[in-house]
Structure 1
Amino acid sequence: MSRWRVRALVVLVYVIIGLYVAWVHEYVTPGLLKDIAEALLAVFLWFLVLLGVDLHLG
């Protein structure tokens, strides 16, 4: 494995562990994940928002 792949893997594992710890200590909740998903949909599908499509989940 090349050096940058090892670093990328270490960073990925670090972020996954951080997300798990944040989830366990309730810094990340299902409501927060829903809000982030809605925001990402609005950012990547902005043209649909301009056409009046409601991208709110649930």
Structure 2
Amino acid sequence: MARRFRPGGGIGIVGLIYLVIGAFVAWDRGYIDADLLRRVASALLAVLLWFLILLGVDLHIHT
């Protein structure tokens, strides 16, 4: 029997567990570190709050 397409179905619980385990393994093996997470967070803030950058706000996350 063919599966029907579920619009907005998402990845499901198995997909979420797969991604969480993958992120943990990548962190454990050194592929992901705190500096990378800070840079990604700063980039996401810059994309979402671009108008603040135009006003001179610094969105870099510092430790």
Q: TM-score band, normalised by the shorter chain?
A: 0.7 to 0.9
Stretches (4+) displaced over 2 A: none
Which residue of the partner structure matches residue 27 of structure 1?
A: 31
TM-score by length of 1: 0.86
Give the aligned residue type for 2:16. Answer: L
TM-score by length of 2: 0.80
Rg larger for: 2
| Aligned residue pairs, count | 55
Higher helix share: 1
Aligned Cα RMSD in Å? Answer: 1.7
Which residue of the partner structure matches residue 55 of structure 2?
A: 51
Helix, strand or coil at the partner of 2:53: helix
